Amino acid sequence: MSRPADTSPSAGWFEGLTHLLPVRVYYEDTDFTGVVYHGNYARYFERGRSDFLRMAGINHAELLARDDPMAFTVTRLALDFRAAARIDDGLLVRTRYETIRGPRLIIGQTIVRGQTVICEAEVQAACIGLDGRVRRPPKTMVATLTPWLSSPAP
């Protein structure tokens, strides 16, 4: 088998306003029964949010390199577990940035296996400075994200 021309990791793709990221369940993701450990769903959701931003044109490293560096912190994460994912499953993380309210980004996410919903998340993330204080996102970031929001920022 020959090496593919592009060996960079996949950041998924967009279908409309929803970002899709495929993930595979590995042995390390599971407990002794072969079921995904509950805390790993938060990891899958994090990857979906990060790759959404990357593909929308927002890069974490660039935010940290600004004159006024900033980052994101999750302030609320509500998970609803619907079914178990198991070793070797191919999952799809669906991410939709819904709106921006002041310093907060409201995000809806779902993990599916085929047509089966595995887990759903309601996420609130806040923009923060390196001092940990909450702050409004830069206008350039809001402008970059606005076309991707299901409910544009007021």
Q: Is the pLDDT of residue 149 over 70?
A: yes
Under 8 Å between Cβ of 92 and 112: yes
Under 8 Å between Cβ of 13 and 52: no
Q: pLDDT, tens digit, for every residue of 97-138?
A: 999 999 999 999 999 999 999 999 999 999 999 999 999 999
Under 8 Å between Cβ of 6 and 67: no
Confidence of residue 9 (pLDDT cuts 50, 70, 90): confident
Please give the model's pTM, rounded to 2 decimal places.
Answer: 0.92
Looking at residue 8, its pLDDT comes to: 73
Looking at residue 4, its pLDDT comes to: 67
Sorted by where each begins, the domain ranges of the chain are 18-148
Q: Reply yes or no on domain 18-148 having CATH 3.10.129.10.
A: yes
Q: pLDDT, tens digit, for every residue of 12-62?
A: 999 999 999 999 999 999 999 999 999 999 999 999 999 999 999 999 999
Q: Is the pLDDT of residue 153 over 60?
A: no
Q: How far apart are CA 111 and CA 146, in angstroms?
A: 24
Catalytic residue among 29, 31, 67, 131: 31
* Residue 121 dihedral angles phi and psi, to the nearest 5°: -135, 140
Looking at residue 1, its pLDDT comes to: 65
Is residue 31 part of the annotated active site? The answer reads yes
Q: How far apart are CA 27 and CA 43, in angstroms?
A: 15
